[in-house]
Amino acid sequence: MVKSNLIISLTILTLIFLLSGCNFSKQQPEESPPPDSSEEHESEVDDEQSEEITGESNEKEEFITLPEEGLQKGDEGEAVRILQEFLNELGYSIAITEQFDQETIWALTDFQLQQDDNMEVTGLYDQQTKDSLELVTVGDIEIKPGSALSYEKNASLDEETVELANPYEILALVNKKHALPADYIPDDLVVPDVRFTFVEDNPKKQMRKIAANALEELFAAIDEEDLDLFAQSGYRSYETQDNLYTSYVTTYGEEEANMFSAKPGESEHQSGLSMDVTSPDVDYRLITDFGDTEEGKWLQQNAADYGFIIRYPLGKEEITEYQYEPWHLRYVGIQAAKEIMEQGITLEEYLGEN
């Protein structure tokens, strides 16, 4: 009897043990995390730590898409705004005005000055400048905003005249109210391959490279018409103009001299963008009769195709404050030249400075 009771007790204990083991095995998975959760957590932590160490994210910086059309002083609108925003992305802290203003011209000029010798320094936004700006975005070239040309506003010389802060600008207005700095000497002066009225070496054969190239194209075109055009006087330094003006004042008096000669700093010749031309029909002189020659008439009709204007046209003396000079060519770029010559206006009127 005792033995039978012992067996029954052992059997009951065994059943209780087995039942407890089953309950434990059923509860265990509910307390454990999902099989892959620990691996995903470790991956997230690794990504966060990697970004903290490198300081970089997986997103690449995207630059604004540049305008396709050319832009210059006086332009305004959406394309100008996009250009200004792009320049800000490069580090040029200029105002977003939607106007191609002095700050925008400064930024482009500073950028152009930092490029190689093949870059034309104009202050304009053209295809060459666009291509170079895009190279910055892919890291092919580096720039330091403001390192080539610091930003300054035009400085007052007296009550009527200001000194230009950016003499490199291709549309810079140089006249009796807007003067070039006394120490400004263009650093891209070259001698154009054209005919001159003299053979000796002389600085007045020189022009800025962009104007010299355009003058060569103009001469090539006029040669096809069997006309005889000669270049006579291009670049003049501040000192040379000072001596020339003083001699004219001595000979003719100041009032008369001011009608045909500029004071130092106020001469377009110092800019390197002008060239006086003449022909055999007027004995190679710089006189108003040149406008009636075949060469003079051809220039009136065609000079703009090469970026030049007749700077001091007939009937505009009150605006330019100089006499009619059909021989004086000024380079302003093709777009501006065509608009000026087609409308029969002066550079002053074109820029709204008359």
- Is 76 catalytic? The answer is no
**In whole angstroms, what is the distance from residue 179 CA to residue 257 CA?**
18
Residues 187-196 have pLDDT tens digits of 999 999 999 9
Mean of pLDDT over the chain:
87
**In whole angstroms, what is the distance from residue 210 CA to residue 316 CA?**
27
Rounded to the nearest 10 degrees, the angle between the axes of helix 127-137 and helix 102-113 is 70
Strand order in the sheet with 162-163: 155-156, 162-163, 178-179
Q: Where are the domains of the chain?
A: 78-137, 185-350
| 307 close to 331: Cβ distance less than 8 angstroms | yes
> Buried (b) or exposed (e) across 329-347, using 16+ Cβ within 10 A?
bbbbbebbbbebbeeebbb
The domain 185-350 is placed in CATH, from the list 3.30.1380.10, 3.40.50.300, 3.30.230.80, 3.30.160.250, at 3.30.1380.10
Using the Cα atoms of residue 208, residue 120, residue 349 and residue 179 in order, give the sign of their dihedral.
negative
Among residues 52, 325, 342, 349, which one is catalytic? 325
Centre a 10 Å sphere on the Cβ of residue 124 and count the other Cβ atoms it contains. Answer: 25
Residues 235-283 have pLDDT tens digits of 999 999 999 999 999 999 999 999 899 999 999 999 999 999 999 999 9
**What pTM value is reported for the model?**
0.82
Tokens of 116: 């190689």
